[in-house]
């Protein structure tokens, strides 16, 4: 019904933002990470999804088309509704979520409020083949951000590219990277060596 709404940020709460478009205030529910980026009185475009159920009518909003695309994929999974999808996107960025699904990282997905192990496993099974890892890496590097922060994300992306070039599957490579603990002293070289050790176990 609404592809997007462009207007002025009038109010931001813990769950939704009010966007003024030509004198009409739209209450739009958004992931918490997106809400934290909104600035009062700035003009912004929010990509929206209109939902009408027995529980009420809601507008869900996203700062990027990719975030909205992942939301639509999540709610296509049986048992995952809009609120569950929003909970997941509140704890995982689009890049994080893609890595979690392809790398079969159940723990990362269950960090979302109300998402249990069975639901996370179902999300992985149903969406794993619908995500493009290469596109995600390119987008992450283009934006200078990925799994945790810009530096860590770029480093992981570079190491992941190196591991796949060595012949490892992207799924196995991501699982290995997820198992490596990273701190401020971690470099691409040490990360690559640690991941290789886990892959050769």
Q: Which residues are paired to 35 by β-bridges?
A: none
What was the pLDDT predicted at 166?
Answer: 77
Encoded tokens for 59 = 């507008």
112-146 confidence digits (pLDDT tens): 999 999 999 999 999 988 887 666 555 554 454 44
Question: Which contacts of 66-70 are long-range, i.e. CB under 8 A and separated by 24 or more positions?
Answer: 66/94, 66/139, 67/31, 67/34, 67/94, 70/94, 70/97, 70/98
Residue 182 phi/psi, 5° resolution? -115, 135
N residues, the chain: 201
What was the pLDDT predicted at 100?
Answer: 84
Least confident of 33-37, 42-46, 106-110, 139-143: 139-143
> Which of these, 159, 168, 164, 175, lies nearest to 103 by C-alpha position?
175
Mean pLDDT (the chain, rounded): 86
Mean pLDDT across the stretch 148-153?
53
């Amino acid at each position: 019904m609404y592809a997007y709404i462009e207007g002025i940020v009038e109010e931001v709460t813990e769950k939704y933002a009010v966007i003024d478009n030509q004198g009409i205030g739209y209450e739009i529910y958004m992931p918490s990470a997106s809400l934290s980026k909104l600035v009062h009185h700035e003009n912004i475009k929010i990509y929206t999804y209109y939902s009408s159920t027995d529980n009420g009518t809601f507008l869900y909003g996203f700062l990027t088309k990719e975030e909205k695309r992942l939301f639509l994929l999540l709610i296509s999974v049986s048992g995952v509704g809009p609120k569950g999808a929003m909970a997941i996107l509140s704890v995982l960025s689009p890049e994080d979520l893609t890595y979690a699904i392809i790398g079969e990282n159940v723990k990362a997905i269950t960090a979302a409020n109300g998402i249990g192990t069975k639901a996370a496993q179902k999300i992985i099974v149903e969406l794993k083949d619908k995500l493009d890892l290469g596109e995600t890496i390119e987008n992450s590097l283009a934006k200078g951000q990925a799994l945790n922060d810009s530096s860590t994300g770029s480093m992981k992306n570079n190491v992941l590219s190196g591991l796949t070039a060595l012949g490892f599957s992207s799924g196995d490579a991501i699982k290995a990277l997820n198992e490596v603990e990273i701190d401020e002293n971690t470099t691409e070289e040490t990360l690559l060596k640690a991941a290789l050790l886990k892959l050769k176990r």
